[in-house]
């Protein structure tokens, strides 16, 4: 449905998009995730045709080669965070505009606009003025306007960014429902990992104009391939170490202080014995043991002492000092927090072994 190969875009000296290739299937919800300035909007503008890329090997939308094709002739539409509605037109006129421009009669266009309004749950809003709408309603109208022309690909640039938290969560669900109903390919930009995880079939994590990792939400969440991806996806604990041996996807690591641990690697071929590595563990995947409970539940155990504890309501966060460095532990068991802690432990599958940037060949 969407295919891009080797897209590069420069603004003067600055490379905003660096040799990006990706594709999206028919009916797929693909999310472009990344921090501000990572090139997300530039990628969307290259797809929609608002930006002419400096270089591109291939750009196909809905089976058509669109290199050099103007935006209005591409089978895609964009929904912006700023809504970009025409203030002097009614809701129905805003939605029907794209159809009228394409030569569809005003009557037919209005009928289709009414149907699109029903789809975005705003039936009966045809004659409202844009100024009479709330932020959430404006965004629904913008979405109705984008889907009314039945594009092969819908591009959405942080469409929920201007909405408050509760409305944003509701709209997340509505958008994924809408996407399943329409079976249109969605390319959705966000800087929020929670939003990406909740909505997407696949996530493209961008970093400085390049694709850092592309995969399903659970692949990005549970098996990051780089320290950057691990940090972005919220791994609280990153510790340096040296690879001792690699066996399948299991990697044995000596942490600083000498403690041996075992973890898994997304890409074990990229790690050799003696390489500097980083292990990444989520705070909630660590278990703590008090002095009375010497038995460790998991494969990896480090001696440690509690240096701080913060009550967060639903859970508590502990800081544990170990020979390998400080570890953050999150526990939901507020009721039985021990006074003292003697060790921290975790399973090998919750311990992600990553090549340290300095080892990387690229
Ligand atoms: P994102 O949407 O991920 O925040 P952008 O694609 O907007 O990132 O920007 C990527 C980089 O390109 C940033 O460094 C940004 O400052 C730069 N940039 C974006 N648009 C322009 C422009 N029109 N002229 C010059 N630099 C730009
Ligand atoms: Mg942007």
Over the stretch 26-85, which tens digit does the pLDDT of each residue have? 999 999 999 999 999 999 999 999 999 999 999 999 999 999 999 989 999 999 988 889
User: Region 143-155: what's the mean pLDDT?
Assistant: 94
Share of the chain above pLDDT 70, in %: 96
Q: SS3 letters for 98-142?
A: HHHHCCCCHHHHHHHHHHHHHHCCCCCCCCCEHHHCCHHHHHHHH
pLDDT higher than 70, residue 362: no
Give Cα 78 distance to the centre of its chain. Answer: 19
**Residues 213, 85: one domain?**
yes
DSSP-derived letter for residue 86 is -
Residue 203 CA to ligand 2 center (angstroms) comes to: 16
Residue 209: exposure state from Cβ atoms within 10 A (0-12, 13-18, ≥19): buried
Q: Structurally, how many domains does the chain consist of?
A: 2
Residue 361 confidence (pLDDT): 45
pLDDT higher than 80, residue 232: yes
Structural domain ending residue among the three candidates 222, 252, 272: 222
CATH number at residue 348: 2.40.50.140
**Residues 81, 160: one domain?**
yes
Report residue 331 as tokens. 């526990």
**Residues 83, 181: one domain?**
yes
Sequential DSSP letters for 8-35: EEEETTEEEEEEEEEEE-TT-EEEEE--
Sequential DSSP letters for 31-44: EEE--TTSSHHHHH
Tell me the pairing of strands 76-80 and 153-157.
Answer: parallel
User: Region 136-160: what's the mean pLDDT?
Assistant: 94
Residue 298 confidence (pLDDT): 57
Structural domain ending residue among the three candidates 187, 222, 257: 222
For residue 246, what are the domain limits?
227-355
User: Region 2-21: what's the mean pLDDT?
Assistant: 97
Q: Between 91-101 and 135-147, two packed helices, what is the crossing angle to 10 degrees?
A: 20
Mutate which of 12, 39, 205, 232 for ligand 1 pocket (most atoms within 8 A of beta carbon) = 39
**Residues 139, 276: one domain?**
no
Mutate which of 37, 157, 161 for ligand 1 pocket (most atoms within 8 A of beta carbon) = 37
* 360 domain residue, yes or no: no
pLDDT higher than 60, residue 297: no
Confidence of residue 359 (pLDDT cuts 50, 70, 90): low
Q: How far apart are CA 325 and CA 319, in angstroms?
A: 10
Over the stretch 266-282, which tens digit does the pLDDT of each residue have? 999 999 999 999 999 99
**Residues 257, 165: one domain?**
no
* 17 domain residue, yes or no: yes
> What pTM did the predictor assign?
0.91
Nearest residue (by CA) to ligand 1, atom 5, is 39
Report residue 204 as tokens. 């493209």
**Residues 233, 196: one domain?**
no
Q: What are phi and psi of 157, to 5 degrees?
A: -100, 95
Q: Which of 147, 167, 75, 148 is nearest to 109 (CA)?
A: 148
* 101-106 CB contacts, 8 Å cutoff, 24+ apart: 102/149
**Residues 208, 303: one domain?**
no
Over the stretch 320-338, which tens digit does the pLDDT of each residue have? 999 999 999 999 888 777 7
């Amino acid at each position: 449905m969407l295919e891009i190969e080797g897209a590069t875009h420069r603004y003067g000296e600055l490379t905003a998009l660096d040799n990006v290739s990706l594709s999206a299937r028919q009916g797929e919800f693909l999310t472009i995730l990344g921090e501000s300035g990572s090139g997300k909007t530039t990628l969307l503008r290259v797809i929609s045709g608002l930006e002419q890329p400096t270089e591109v090997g291939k750009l196909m939308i809905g089976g058509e080669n669109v290199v050099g094709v103007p935006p209005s002739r591409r089978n895609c539409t964009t929904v912006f965070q700023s809504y970009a509605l025409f203030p002097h037109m009614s809701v129905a006129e805003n939605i029907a505009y794209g159809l009228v421009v394409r030569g569809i009669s005003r009557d037919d266009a209005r009928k289709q606009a009414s149907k699109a309004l029903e789809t975005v749950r705003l039936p009966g809003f045809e004659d409202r003025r844009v100024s009479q709408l709330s932020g959430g309603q404006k965004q629904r109208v913008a979405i109705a306007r984008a889907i009314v022309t039945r594009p092969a690909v819908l591009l959405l640039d942080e469409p929920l960014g201007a909405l408050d938290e509760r409305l944003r969560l509701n709209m997340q669900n509505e958008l994924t429902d809408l996407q399943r109903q329409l079976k249109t390919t969605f390319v959705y930009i966000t800087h929020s990992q929670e939003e990406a995880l909740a909505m997407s079939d696949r996530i493209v994590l961008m970093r400085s104009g390049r694709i850092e990792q592309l995969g399903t939400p659970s692949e990005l969440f549970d098996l990051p391939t780089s320290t950057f991806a691990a940090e972005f996806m919220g791994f609280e604990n990153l510790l340096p170490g040296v690879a001792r041996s690699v066996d399948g996807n299991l990697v044995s690591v000596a942490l600083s202080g000498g403690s041996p641990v075992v973890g898994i690697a997304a890409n074990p071929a990229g790690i050799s014995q003696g390489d500097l590595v980083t292990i990444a563990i989520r705070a909630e995947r660590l278990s703590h043991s008090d002095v009375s409970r010497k038995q460790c539940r998991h494969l990896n155990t480090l001696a440690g002492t509690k240096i701080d504890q913060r009550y967060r309501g639903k859970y508590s966060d502990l800081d544990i000092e170990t020979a390998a460095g400080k570890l953050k532990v999150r526990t939901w068991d507020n009721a039985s927090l021990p006074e003292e802690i003697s060790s921290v432990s975790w399973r090998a599958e919750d311990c992600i072994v990553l090549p340290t940037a300095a080892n990387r060949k690229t």
